[in-house]
Homo-oligomer: A and B are copies of this chain.
């Protein structure tokens, strides 16, 4: 199935609709059922010790799965997160960008479901995993 938005279109959408966080997140790559989003880490994301905070990892998973859904349904849709389950597995490396690797598992009429693995850039294993559901409003 074709994409309705590529990486450039998703980044432009982020700039326009979510300017408060657009500087934090960059879509690096998107395909039919996969998307990679990077968190450009800065001081506001950190906890004592220099590691990225839990709410920032949540935000990365949330924006990644949201943009994966929009890549398929287009920017007109007002999808809202209804549910997220997230596991924090390892401490991220200090002051290192995070990558969110998103998989689209379901794209239905009412709901989309994605999962996300979060990595400290350049390192294994993943520091967190998340699964998210979006409600897609009636067209």
Contact = CB atoms under 8 A, between A and B. Distances in A.
Given A105-B89, A105-B126, A110 B110 contact: yes
A129 B105 CA distance: 8
Contacts of A126: 105
Copies per complex? 4
A25 to B, nearest CB: 11
Given A82-B87, A82-B88, A105-B129, A135 B115 contact: no
Interface of A: 17-18, 20, 44, 46-48, 53-56, 58-59, 62, 80-90, 105-106, 108, 110-111, 113, 115, 117, 125-126, 129, 131, 133, 135
Given A58-B58, A89-B108, A113-B129, 5 more contacts: A18-B48, A80-B88, A83-B83, A89-B113, A106-B125
